[in-house]
Every structure is written in structure tokens, then in C-alpha cells.
Amino acid sequence: MKQVLEALDARSARLANARLAVFLISAALAVGAIARLLPASALSAALVGGLGFVVLVVRHARVAEVQARQEAAQALNDKARTRMIGGWRGFPATGLELAPANHPYAVDLDVVGQASLFARLDDTQTRGGERRLAQLLLELAPAPEALERQAAVRELAPRLEERQRLLAELRDVAKAKPDPEALLSWIESGTALEKITWAFPLAHLLPPITLTLLVLTSLEVLAPWAAAPLVLAQLAIVGLTRGAVQRTFAQLMAGEQDLGRYARAFKELDAWKVESPRLSALHGSVSASGPKVSQRLAGFDRLFGLAALRASKEVHWLINVLFLWDVHWFVRLEKWRAKEAQGARAWLTALAEIEALCCLAQHAFEHPADAWPTVEDGAFALELGGLRHPLLDAAVANDVALPGPGEALIVTGSNMSGKTTLLRAMGLAVVMARAGLPVAAERARIRVQAVVTSMRVKDSLERGVSYFYAEVQRIKSILDVAQGTKNGTLFLLDELFLGTNTRERQIASRALLEHLLASGASGAITTHDLALTELPGAKIRNVHLRDELKDGEMTFDYRLREGVVQGSNALEILRRAGVPV
């Protein structure tokens, strides 16, 4: 692939040099003819040279497209290799800006953020695909929808080449992830171009006559001033239409003008044969009767490519005056907009979901040992056999079960033994299952409608909120969700109420747990406060993780065991850190 890229780069350079040379020669001929330093026929040669310049611009653009596509494929391969050796933890896309403030689990479970699940999955090439991927992870879907996604992901997972070709085509749309929202707003609303359609017939009528007169003048068949009235008329048309054209051109450029280049991605989709209901519905929305979406967008691409000559300031002014170039192509763009206004958003919405599903499928492809979960609606149940944390390279597996509503695990253990990691693994299993992903487990049955967490509570100096009050606000939101989702909420709480004294912490923690269980919510709480482990109730289980000292070294096996932990390593950690205790 490196040799192909080098050959394309050399060809692109040759065309760029030829393009510049033709422009300079044509400009010199035109100036010489106008200044009467050259014969009048030089003006005709300059016009031919101008057309040659346009041809070279088009050819250069085509070579640049092929070059960009090859570079996109190379970049995707490089990213996949980096991800497989663990380098994904340094990927810049974190998804943090896509999560609503105070989301019930996004930050606590590392769904978004540096080295998060989003960072691990994100192979999207467009803003729409990125937003849809985040949405799949941040909104727990009902079981039927989750199972439809699961079927789609299972179908796409082995189709590696098709997925990579689609993503490479999308990557070629723009180096930075394009967001077509501004352009969609142009498509879906009326524009200033409607006011200049009167000039369209004149753009067909006047230029052929004007050019004929100019040629006859250059051949001295007619007087030098014969074409002047028509040239002045065309200058007037350019002046009258300039404002509307300029505003539309600026809007197109600001709105990711590469919409037409999505055509190749849709053309790639045209060849797909799909079976699962979700993929069939998405594929159907971009394969409706009539011209294919790829053909419609290719039409836009051609029109905009010609209209974009406006950006070539060195020749645009002359060609626009002689041919009324802007009127020809911008009015055609207006007609395209009016015709396709109803369908464009639906096409790109479907494409964004397919793009997000491809990311999920890539994860499934790279993790063939992960289990496809049973996802159900109804009263709470969570059974995870051989559960692992999906973002750790060598995670230890544990069996975790909360068979029904109103059940809780109270997790005790020494510092660094893996208590919080266990809770995050439980929450991520639910999130991944509801998104349509396999989960890092040997088997999984998930009947959970909502996930709420309290792990990384932060105070806020700007809002004047202390740590304790921030935690209280978080707990209140957890109770609200649990009350609103009867028998369907999973709560995951890490070291509650650290901002108050031991006695009040015990009272508050007991009361909170009783309220949650009474609402039918189930979940797990980590604690160092062993008094909390003495809560009565058949549906409360004490489990623990522990450490061992072997040959003077502290070790952890990260195995979940029944009962309450019998020791603590806090003092030993302080001693090893050099703190005298």
C-alpha cells in the first residue's frame, strides 16, 4: 500500500504542476491579446487554455480522491493494529462531550472518558456515527431493540472486509469527522438561490452568442466592440446574482460541503446483502425505489464540484463572466435541494447507525470468547457467570448473581482488592448487553431496565457544592430512578457518605439500602464499614475480596468469596508508602 500511495502522490504533483503551467500560459495569452501585444487569435487560445485548466482541475481532483481513499484504508489498518496491542487507551476520542451532565452511569462505569468503553469501540468516521455510537451506550434500549441490534452485530462481525471498505469510504469524506448538520439545514430550508432562478434561462441563451461574437471579433470579422453589449449584460447578471450565490457558497463550505462524497459509502452499501431485521430496515431506508441514494449524492457531488470553481479565484472571475458559470451550477444545486429535501436526513441517520453497528461488530470480532447475553424485559434478574472487566487485559473472572428484585450484595475487602472493579464490570455488562454487544463473561442473563451509580462524586467550587452535598444530590437522583423503574433498577454504590462521621454514615447507608430494596431495585455496595454487613434480610448477601502476604509481598487474587472480609491492609499500605504508623 505504501508504494501505491507514493505513485499517487507523484501523479498528483505532476497534475498540479501542469494545472499551474496551463493557467499561467492562458493568462499570458489573454493579457497579451487584450494589450494588443499578441494577435487577436491569442484570446481564442486563452479561452481554450481556460477550458484545459478546468479539465486538469477535474482530473487532479479525481486522483486526490483515490489518494485519500488509500490513505483512509491505511489509517484504519494502523488504528486496528494499535488497538489490538492496547494502544486504544491513548486514543483522543473519549465521548465525554457526548454524555449529558450528571448521567446516571457514564463516567462512573468508564463508558466515556479516557481509556473508556467508548474509546475502545470508537471507529466511527463521521459525527453522526460518533453520536449514534454514544447514544447506544448511554441509553439502555428495551429488550426487543437490544436483541435486534445483537442480531445485526452478529451478522456484521464476520464481514470484516465489507465493514472496513465502508469505514474507509466514510473516512475519505473528510480528514476531520464531518458533521453535515449545517448542510442539512440548507437542504431542508428555502435558500436565497430561489431568488435568482430568473437568470437560469439567460445563462443558457447569452453565453453562446457572446462567445461567438468574441471569436468573430478576434478573427476581425466583426468590429472590436460588437460583443461589448452582451458582455456588459452578463456582467450585470453576475452582479445581481452575486450576493445570493456567495451566501449559499459560504453555507455549503461551512456545512461540510463533502456531502456528495458520501455517495461512495452509499454505493458500498448498495452491494450489501443483509438478513437481520435491524439491518434490513436500515438498508431499506437507503435503498428505496427510484434512483439509489448513491446516485443522488453523486449528482450533488458533480454539481458542487462544478460550482466550487468559485474557490479558484485566479480563473473564476473570467469563466463566470463569459459563461455565467455560477448561475448555471448554483441554480442546479437549488433544484437538487428542492427535490431531495425530504430524504437526506433519513439517509444520513441510517448511515450513522450502520456505522455505529460496525464498531460494535468490530469489538465482537476481536472478542470471540465473549458471551452473547440473554436480554429480557420484566422483573429484575442479573446472572453473570465468569464475569470479567471488559477494559482490562488480564481480568479475573467471577460469578455474580442477583436473581430477583430487592436483592443486594455488600462487598467488603482490603484496599486495591478489586471491589470497585467488580461493580464496574457488572454495570458494563448491562450497558454492553443493552447496546447489542457480547459481554465479557461465559454466560449472561440480563433483565435490567436502568443502571444508576455513585462512585466518582465530585464537589464543585463553581456551584458552591461540597463533596457531601454532591453525593446527596447523586443519591437523590438514584432513588428517583429506582422509584420510577419498579423492580428494574441496578444500583452500584461505592463507599457511601464519606463526607460525614461514622455514626451518621451508618444510619444513612442503612436507610438508603432499605429504601432501594423496598422499591424492587437490586445491586451492590462496597464498604469498609463492617457494621453495614450486619443488616438482616435473606436477600442481602455478604461477599468479599481479599489480599495475602507472601514472602513479605502483598498479593491479590481478585476472587470473589462468600462472607465478610476478616482483615484490612490499610496500615500495611501506609507502612510500605513510608508513612510511620
**For the segment 205-237, what is each residue's pLDDT rounded down to a tens digit?**
998 988 888 878 877 777 878 888 888 998 999
3 state DSSP class of 442: coil
**Partners of residue 371 on adjacent β-strands:** 439
Give start-end residues of each CATH 3.40.50.300 domain in the chain.
374-576
Residue 394: CB atoms within 10 A of its CB come to 7
* Helix 325-340 vs helix 181-188: crossing angle, to nearest 10: 90
Nearest CA to 355 out of 456, 468, 266 is that of: 266
pLDDT of residue 3: 64
Strands 553-556, 522-526: parallel, antiparallel or unpaired by DSSP? unpaired
* Cβ-Cβ contacts under 8 Å for 101 (sequence gap 6 or more): none
pLDDT score of 168 = 84
CATH architecture of 374-576: 3-Layer(aba) Sandwich (3.40)
Minimum mean pLDDT range among 75-79, 103-107, 431-435: 75-79
Give pTM, 2 decimals: 0.81
With a pLDDT cut of 90, the percent of the chain lying above it is: 35
pLDDT higher than 80, residue 467: no
Measured CA to CA, the distance from residue 544 to residue 558 in angstroms comes to 9
What DSSP state is assigned to residue 176?
A: S
For the range 460-463, what are the long-range contacts, defined as Cβ-Cβ under 8 Å and sequence gap of 24 or more?
none
Mean pLDDT, rounded, of the chain: 84
Question: Which residues contact residue 339 at a Cβ distance below 8 angstroms, ignoring those fewer than 6 apart?
Answer: none
For residue range 435-445, what is the model confidence (pLDDT) as tens digits? 999 999 999 99
Kind and range of the H or E run holding 101:
none
521 has a pLDDT exceeding 90: yes
Among residues 347, 310, 419, the alpha carbon closest in space to that of 188 is found at 347
The 10 Å Cβ neighbour count of residue 515 is 15
Per the structure block, which three cell numbers stand in for 61?
481532483
- Residue 221's pLDDT is 77
What integer pLDDT is reported at residue 550 of this predicted model?
67
Other beta carbons within 10 angstroms of residue 287's beta carbon come to: 16
C-alpha cell at 150: 445483537
Residue predicted with more confidence, 82 or 172: 82
Average pLDDT for 254-258: 59
Mean per-residue pLDDT, 85-93: 86
pLDDT digits (tens, 9 = 90+) for 119-162: 999 999 888 899 999 999 999 999 999 999 999 999 999 998 89
pLDDT at 461: 44
Judged by average pLDDT, the poorest of 400-409, 453-462, 487-496, 553-562 is 453-462
